[in-house]
Structure 1
């Protein structure tokens, strides 16, 4: 189902179908195709037909020369009915009719698409769901760039500009929870697994990777954290760094049986969705790894896998428990921490948000400082519109999204979204807060952030960045929550840009998107060719959007059709070193797309990766690791 095929590089698709009837006797069979996800009966074209009396396998090819280029070529255009998601579907139908006239039918659909802006060798099918977004960097040290991307089957790929895997890759994580015979949780002893020849699952990766030099040898390393809370670090040749993987506290890996009765508390668990952050936390001249986890702690490790002194820190503080109310506690820290100097240049301070309406900030020395490492005067309480606590959505409607930070002459500030809907600017030294105004969509009205995080970048040519973030219609989201399930509420979604000096949205950037931007943040980089950063956003509905950083209008040649559901942030860099930027986006359907653009590689990229940069610092301004993502390392 839904394999992506390019008619300019493949001539045909092979069809194999088993045909038979339950009732003995003569039957006829037909293999047909039609354009679109649900062709009319009159639109099906017969590829082959025949008859028989016994079961058989039918083999036939559909040659793409029979399908006009007007179907699979040209620019992708979204439509308000969202049927454009399946714009390039080709449906194959197999029918069997028995002697009594009964008909059996099966269908398969595949995508047939050629985008002239796609780099040769792409898209690449990686064989597993790709929640993690890509990183583009000169991993091999050749002066050219590679695409690093992790998948849900626990594989990390490194692809060169021609789509081929770099030497030493792919690499894989260890066994998935329950698949390790040495673990206290071992499913392999169960008959279903013991007698099953299937490959054993590996520890999946959903969070974006980070890239930086961990051991100070002048070579870049890849850091990836699995969904079970294990952090791996690989050298550029695919070998593991000594001391890795490291892991979060395994005491929370499973619950006792029976499960404790703890009303309004989800209990601590083991896992991670936050991306690893690379920063010199203890100021020893080398990068450390900061990792937020589902057990309510934020961890930090050196490049040799040893814990940074004073870490982990706990995010559960009495101040987070409001009095006189029923407090629903979920310990997870699912957001990627942002790192900035709050109390002076002597220490980096990670800011993170547990699943509560509080922003926390810690000293770089962690628990070596009083109050468990929490900076004096913290946490900062942020008022949300609603706290959604429900098992079905888990953390999606709770707590904070990933903050971004930047420096002003008066000190550092953060932009963060709390619970459902509310955006804040927080002065990290005075802890003063200011709420942003809502952007407004032409269809749907007031737009509020929904599962998304902000990105910071200079679109207007000043010393203060603007804030870009996607969201959804407030009225549509509320209606979808309170209406009877199954009503089919259409949620209008879009993107907006805010001026943090005023807290007001810039109306020209309030633009609709196809589908929903889920657990994502925009990239900010030039793709139009004018040297000004544009707003780039992938969605869950097969669209990669880009809007001009001056006018807010769609960039020529956008949106791009991606064929699937993308999370986090597209990666932007000059992958083929021709002076123009490319955009890489991964889908949960397993395809890595890389599109050429007119963007100038010489222009300043403002947010070219999840959480601003290749190290996931969330910090606009320092350009952390920027040279590592440029041709020649410049």
Structure 2
């Protein structure tokens, strides 16, 4: 029943090794450096190579040789010391958490933190591995951010102690942590938590809970003090159907994907979505549902069992209506969510996995697609049966406006070495799919955990796509054009962001020093930071899983005015003012602050406030009709602006037109109408 983790893990490990070998032999060669020596200043300034703003050499703190730790964890960006700038939080494959001040310069020698946490798991120094990425937020409302990360190796030959740890901003381990996973694989060590935890308020108590999934088939949710939430680890959806005890408190298969958090029901609490390796059972098993496995069983697998699933759970561990959504391939991809159709609720976009394509003798291609679903698990218009691609899609989608229209696009990477982009209606963005290329025109496959990020690289008001390609970062615009060099050194006009070793994770982009420009952040054996001089500080998807809390959800409020037009009927000669009501609503998650203004014959009261989905504000619009002649008169507009952190929310600013219709004899007018 359970997939063979060793086979999948070995594949990922061998792919990483192959990637390293190819990069070492085909990319620009790294400087020759003996073990223990410091490499030259990083990077070397050569023609189109961009010099870094600052670099921190992470290997030097543990005595590891240069270029030996490419690291799987993607960096997080968050203000760790309260000085108003974003810092870089990185994790290593030898158990360390590293924090460097975002406004640093040159070769950094004094980080905010560089500490080995192997001891917290009962392991020897520098022997723990962090393949998960750090999540950062103030989970306990103490005014200081905490760091949360999953632990354990992706190499089944390494007996690391898997679990989840919470680290205080000062480097101490939070009481009640770490939490160890279960040794489901039976190798004598707790299984790895590869997926990146997500932090959010799933209970509605104002504190942030920690959600994670592991190779031990468990979906975990803990309070900030380490106590598990009731209902977690969650039962498999199949438990009620099959009644097997081993489906209580665990799923039927491993979890590679990372959990994401979004309010799917509108109750103000976030729900949990998670791609899993749990497939379904055909009708040879009890209480059949018509599930069919249309390809040969994986050697050593269970006949009649196949596929993967997207789970959606509430804060009690109960499965939401319409889920799990079973498909015919694993879902190792991490979903991306945003309210792309402006209905007030997030839509779900997710890729697949590689397992059955690689392991079944039939090598099925059911995972050659990307799915778009609504909050009930129904396919979105234009996304029925998913969007077909040329390869497995274990990478994680991102969402942002790359086309310069008024709506976001969905962007993701594939094992077929392609970069895909679709409009929300499922049509391909012109210029996509395209093939990203590195500085030597080489191409690369994008496996589980890989994801692009989005930011305005060239200041044109549109989002560009940043992705790691071997030793460099490639930048692609919304037309599918590569903006970085593909022919070094013959393209001196195009930049090259060279990290001098394999980048096995995802970059990040943000204005981390408050200079009004984006910085590009990459981690491998070092943290590399480049300023992007032509950029604007807008980054629609700045890091892996969108934000430092790793929610993978653009949870933005949505302004709506009710009604959208005001009309007043009066008799000729009427001079008394009339007051009508306008409702300012937030039909999305969170809250926004609003202001209203009016001119001419109009006034409004109040002129501002704050609204959530469940607490709209009423604005009184007072109209003065004095002196108006017969006919229809536009007497002004009410202008409403809604902001979050100084940024306009969707539909802001909004204007409402007010008209007055003057009649000789009002009582003969047709109704309904608005009158005094």
> TM-score, normalized by length of structure 2?
0.47
Kindly name which structure, 1 or 2, has the bigger radius of gyration based on alpha carbons.
2
